[in-house]
Chains A and B, each alone.
Chain A
Amino acid sequence: MVNLENESINVPTEVAEHLRAISDPEIPVLSIMDMGIVRDVSVDGQAVFVKITPTYSGCPAMDTIASEIKFALAKAGYLVEVELILSPAWTTDWITENGRQKLEEYGIAPPVEESADKLALMGQSKIVKCPQCHSTNTRMISQFGSTACKALFQCNDCLEPFDYFKCLK
């Protein structure tokens, strides 16, 4: 069994392996396991029942993710059913520690605390760290970015613009 950090969701090891190979197409470095999208997995013989939850309501990747889960597990010989659940609603707290590290290496600043982007909007933030040079001397350019889950920031030291994964609680 694999215990996802931050959350006590147990995923049978043989299934986890396959799920870890699937990523959110908009953030290819992050597996759906690290993202906290997989909420429940139960295995009964050859039958697997997977529950997933969307990050944002309008996330266009959910349909793709559901069919990729079906495809990957069917290929491994399972009979798969995927259900989309809304409750409890996804929060950025469910992104694993491993996922946060991968985000930063990829150039996306991981979510910090809820007030970070609000403070940034008021020009008071020194919280969000530049994924390039690690300076916290950064500013928000736009609270909406390239996808629903991101805001656009710029580093005042190295001047690189970067994506920040918005905190959702």
Chain B
Amino acid sequence: MNDQLYQYLLLLGDNPLILGHRLSELCGHGPSLETDIALTNISLDLFGQVRHYFQYAAKLNGENQTEDDVAFLRYEHQYKNTLLVEQPNTDFAYVIGRQFLFDAYHLPLLEQLMASKDKQISAIAHKSIKEVKYHHRFSSEWVKRLGDGTEASHQKMQTAIEDLWPFVAELFEETPLEQAMKEEGIGADLSQVKEKYDADVQNIFELAQLQRPDHQYTQSGGKKGVHSEQLGYILADLQYMQRAYPNMTW
């Protein structure tokens, strides 16, 4: 088995998996029916994309591994999602801020992956990007609506962006795995993703009357398996059934 490719598929799948889980927590708790439905629809899209990555990973691994094994039976340090997506649903401005800061990365990332030499990764990216365009439209519209809304909504949106900003840099920190995959023509070039990200974020923040945070403090580790305490709670929830009833199926 090509272990690097396998690890790279986990890296690609873990962000949508954990973000999809965070959004699924809002099912029935959204601030309005429409936003509730939108956020859970986005969650469903992300889970669908994860299934494609993990089905492929399981096939590469062989040994009768399934997509569910990949999703449910790893330990905390084996998850490679960035710290940004595991941040909690503090309030609606955080949910929207987290979503936008991820969508603005997800879109150019998939653009890069569409050109991947790996045919299956390229096919998944071609499929996913159509959905992610809708996610980005939804989150950026809400960033504008809240940022350029009332004094209170502006304040909440600005605060959410300030608090989430330290986690943005990790999206673009190239790990040795990502570097190797990029050099093989399989993985994305994060410096090019970042260029598009910066332009997009600047444009939306301007329209939303938001200040781009200028603090330099950053926090990272998720891609290498060093997570915040948040992930433990997510996994306790996510993995409960498989841990309590090993090999259970529907």
Which residues of A are in contact with B by a Cβ distance under 8 Å?
54, 56-60, 85-91, 118, 121, 141-146, 148, 152, 166, 168-169
Contact = CB atoms under 8 A, between A and B. Distances in A.
B126 A89 contact: yes
Contact of B126 (A88, A141, A146): A88
Contact of B123 (A87, A121, A152, A168): A87
Given A143-B134, A148-B41, A168-B130, A58 B48 contact: yes
Contacts of A152: 34
The 4 A-B residue pairs whose C-beta atoms are closest, nearest first, are: A58-B48, A57-B48, A87-B123, A144-B38
Contact of B124 (A60, A86, A88): A86
A58 B126 CA distance: 14
Given A57-B49, A148-B45, A87 B38 contact: no
B45 A56 contact: yes
A54 to B, nearest CB: 7
A168 B128 CA distance: 11
Nearest to B49: A57
Contacts of B48: 54, 56-59
Interface in B4-45: 34, 37-38, 41-42, 44-45
Given A87-B126, A88-B126, A142 B119 contact: no
Interface of B: 34, 37-38, 41-42, 44-49, 51-52, 119-120, 122-124, 126-128, 130-131, 134, 137-138, 141
A118 B34 contact: no
A169 B41 contact: no
A88 B137 CA distance: 23
A140 to B, nearest CB: 10
A90 B122 CA distance: 14
Q: Give the interface SS of chain B, mostly helix, strand, loop or mixed.
A: helix
Contacts, number: 71
14 contacts: A56-B131, A57-B49, A58-B46, A58-B47, A58-B49, A86-B126, A87-B126, A88-B126, A89-B127, A90-B127, A141-B34, A143-B134, A144-B42, A166-B134
B130 A89 contact: yes
Contacts of B49: 57-58
B45 A57 contact: yes
A49 B181 CA distance: 34
A126 B128 CA distance: 29
Contacts of B127: 54, 57, 86-87, 89-90
A56 B41 CA distance: 11
Contact of A118 (B38, B46, B120, B137): B137
A121 B137 CA distance: 10
A168 B45 CA distance: 13
Contact of A58 (B44, B122, B130): B44
Given A86-B120, A148-B41, 10 more contacts: A57-B48, A57-B49, A57-B51, A58-B45, A58-B48, A58-B51, A88-B126, A89-B126, A90-B127, A121-B141
